[in-house]
Amino acid sequence: MRRTGKAFLIVAPLAAGAAVAATRRRRGAGSASRGHHVVTVYRQLSELEGAALPGSLKEIADGAEVTMRAAPGDRGTEIAVRIPDGSRVTDAEVRRALRDTRSLLEAGDVLLPSGPPSTVPTALNRPLQTATRHGREGGLS
């Protein structure tokens, strides 16, 4: 079998699984609906209340509602962002902002990818390169 065909057959079941997961999420079943995202940051609420929002979360705060509450079991603080109707803030921007915020508050830094890259673009890896360019903006958070 040619490599292209083999690669497709390898990707297909994983992609199908991801599609099932995404569909399940869109149907709700208790998960976050579009326009609402939340992460838990391992810092006490008392440390964050009154402090300035870090980095990219501050940048989107004018177009989104940010709320914080203590997570149960000493797990830190739940930071939730809701995008109001009519806001220009996107889900991707919120996901990135929340992930960056968690990294900044916990690790003091946002990990950057390896560099300079050693890869070369091919027809096969173009979808993966697109996915990784948006690697902090997609997903379920």
Residues that bind other proteins (CB under 8 A): 3, 6-7, 9-14, 17-18, 21-22, 40, 42, 75-76, 95, 99, 102-103, 106-120, 122, 124-125, 128-129, 131-132, 134-141
> Whole-angstrom Cα distance, residue 131 to residue 84?
27
Nearer to other proteins, 33 or 65 (CB): 33
Could you tell me the smallest distance in angstroms from the CB atom of residue 38 to other proteins? Answer: 13
Q: List the beta bridge partners of residue 131.
A: none
Nearer to other proteins, 8 or 84 (CB): 8
Helices (H) and strands (E) in the chain, counts: 5, 3
Could you tell me the smallest distance in angstroms from the CB atom of residue 83 to other proteins? Answer: 18
Amino acid, single-letter form, for residue 15? A
Retrieve residue 24's tokens. Answer: 């399940």
Nearer to other proteins, 50 or 108 (CB): 108
Could you tell me the smallest distance in angstroms from the CB atom of residue 54 to other proteins? Answer: 13
Altogether, the residues listed in the chain come to a count of 141
Nearer to other proteins, 52 or 111 (CB): 111
Could you tell me the smallest distance in angstroms from the CB atom of residue 69 to other proteins? Answer: 16
Could you tell me the smallest distance in angstroms from the CB atom of residue 7 to other proteins? Answer: 6
Nearer to other proteins, 62 or 74 (CB): 74
